[in-house]
Structures are given as structure tokens and as C-alpha cells.
Amino acid sequence: MKDDVVMRLLREVKAGKVSVEDARVALEDASLTEESFEAAVNHGVFNEVKPGTIVRASLAPSGDSWLIIIVGLWGILWTLYWAGALAYGLYQEWDQQLLAFNLAMTLLTLIILGIVYLKYVLPDVVIVKHRRNKYITNHDTNSWKKYEV
């Protein structure tokens, strides 16, 4: 889906390489009926895939955006802050309630970083595997090896 004609034209219009009128002229012969649209949408959802097939969903935004990098740096700094406060509090023998708060904030920041990583950075790749029937071979007693210690 990333490399089809429509997406390429949209990127070129956005970059200013192609005018909107030229893009319309290029796509004026394209036709899409409601049946073919429904078939295309339902194709990837309802069709059974073969075992071992890699299914890619390219709808997740890229992890290269500056916002994701800033959130990652923000999370790392706050994690270091709360973990440092926890370590300092353990050394200074602070009250357990304050230590528990620092530990909870450290873990919460790590959880937020993990959610952002899973949602916006990790590629959406699903490998479809199905359970196979078990096959147990006959044991040939002549092929056994005798090991002695």
C-alpha cells in the first residue's frame, strides 16, 4: 500500500512536485465500484491465510517523527530522575511511602514509554501460524545406539 500510484501521487502533491490538477488528470480514468471496494476491504479481513504467512499492517505511524523522539527523551529523563530519587532515598533511609511513590513513578514512566514504543515505533508484523497435527514416527529398535559411561 505504501508504493501504489495513489499514495505516490499524494506524496508528490504534498511536496509540490505535481499540481492537484495534474494528479486529477492522472487519476480520471481510474474507477472503483462499490463491489470492488467491499471486496478489497474484506479480502484481508475475512480470507483464511496459509500457515506461516507474514501479514503486514502499514497503518501505524513511523517511529522517525520528532514527536516520538521527544517523548522518548522525556521518558528517559523522567525515568532517570525517579530512579535516582529512589536510589538516593534508599541510601538516606527515607520513609517507605516516599520510596514507594518514587518506585511507582519510575514504573509508570517505563510503562508509558513501553506503550508509546509498541504503538508508534514497533512495526506491525504478524506471522500467522496454525497448529499442525502431531506425527509420531515408529521407533526402529535397530537404529538405537547404546551409550556406555
66-105 pLDDT, tens digit per residue, is 888 899 999 999 999 999 999 999 999 999 999 999 999 9
What's residue 148's pLDDT? 77
- Provide the pLDDT for residue 128: 65
Render pLDDT for 108-120 as a digit per residue (tens, 0 to 9): 999 999 998 888 8
3-class SS at 55?
Answer: strand
Determine the number of helices (DSSP H) and then strands (DSSP E) in the chain: 5, 2
Q: Is the pLDDT of residue 50 over 80?
A: no
CA distance 45 to 137: 37
Give the predicted TM-score (pTM) of the model. 0.48
Mutual angle of helices 20-27 and 5-15, in 10-degree steps: 170
Task: Give pLDDT, residue 124.
Answer: 67
Q: What is the pLDDT of residue 56?
A: 63
Domain definitions of the chain by residue range: 52-132
At 71, which helix (H) or strand (E)? helix 66-92
pLDDT at 60 over 60: no
